[in-house]
Amino acid sequence: MTRILCIESATSVCSVALVDDDTLTGVLESGALNDHAANLTILAATLLEQNGLGMNDLDAVAVSMGPGSYTGLRIGVSVAKGYCYALDIPLITVNTLEVMASGIGFRYGQDVLLCPMIDARRMEVYTAFYTPDLKLIKETEAIILDEQSFANELKSNKVIFFGSGAEKMAGFVENRPNAMIVSDYTISAADMHRAVLRNYRMKMFADVAYFEPFYLKDFVAGAPRVKGLF
């Protein structure tokens, strides 16, 4: 039996989930925005207790690696690495945008492209393109949105834009029939399930000592906080 603790802290709300073999057995989410340092380890301990488990029952810990909030990523990765080091178990990392794509899943059928977006600053977003079965179509990038954004993709594909940065696209795609803006999606550690199990079975583990969050853009300590990047 394989038990994996999943940690998602890349956005303003943090959550944890427990994967037991092929089953998602529990999820807990903090309702306090941007308070990951105070809540994350409590959520993890509570989730394990609710399932009659202790930390020593885990076979691996998985973390949403970014892009996203600099502070949130540092907290989540630090907690995950600490657990893995203390327990001598593997660390699994998953791109946060892939986690989001998994969360939307097959809700809109197979014949679409999924474009998860994380709010960065002003008109900038972190984004990538996936198919519903999580095949990466376009690599993760930070882009500034304008009228020409994703014009080529929208010519021949229905594209689902979702996540904290998706509303920025609304004014640019209102007359494009292939574009759909989804406003009711919020990322959760539960969305990590598919990718985490894939990586575990393929033994795609990160180096506990040297792994760093995927900031995408350079992190500058002490830099002013901006909307979406607490």
Q: What is the pLDDT of residues 18-27, one digit of tens each?
A: 999 889 999 9
State the angle between helix axes of 70-87 and 36-50 in degrees (0 to 180), rounded to the nearest 10. Answer: 40
Tell whether the model's pLDDT for residue 190 goes beyond 80: yes
Residue 130 has which token pair? 């996936």
Higher pLDDT, 61 or 228: 61
Which CATH architecture fits 97-182? 2-Layer Sandwich (3.30)
Tell whether the model's pLDDT for residue 194 goes beyond 90: yes
* Cα 31 from chain centre: 17
Structure confidence by residue, pLDDT tens digits, 21-47: 889 999 999 877 778 989 999 999 999
Rounded Cα distance between 137 and 139, Å, is: 7
**Domain boundaries along the sequence of the chain:** 3-96+187-201, 97-182
pTM, rounded to two decimals: 0.91
105-118 burial, b for 16+ CB within 10 Å, e for fewer? eeebeeebbbbbbb
Tell whether the model's pLDDT for residue 223 goes beyond 70: no
Q: pLDDT confidence of 218, banded at 50, 70, 90?
A: low
Q: Which fold has domain 3-96+187-201?
A: Nucleotidyltransferase; domain 5 (3.30.420)
Average pLDDT, the chain: 92
**Fold matches, 3-96+187-201 and 97-182:** yes
Structure confidence by residue, pLDDT tens digits, 114-156: 999 999 988 999 999 999 999 999 999 999 999 999 999 999 9
pLDDT score of 136: 97
| Percent of the chain at pLDDT exceeding 90 | 81
Rounded Cα distance between 229 and 143, Å, is: 15
- Measured distance between the N- and C-terminal CA atoms of the chain, rounded to whole angstroms: 38
Tell whether the model's pLDDT for residue 86 goes beyond 70: yes
Distances (CA, A) of 177 to 66, 145, 155, 180: 31, 18, 9, 8
| Percent of the chain at pLDDT exceeding 70 | 94
Higher pLDDT, 226 or 129: 129
Tell whether the model's pLDDT for residue 224 goes beyond 50: no
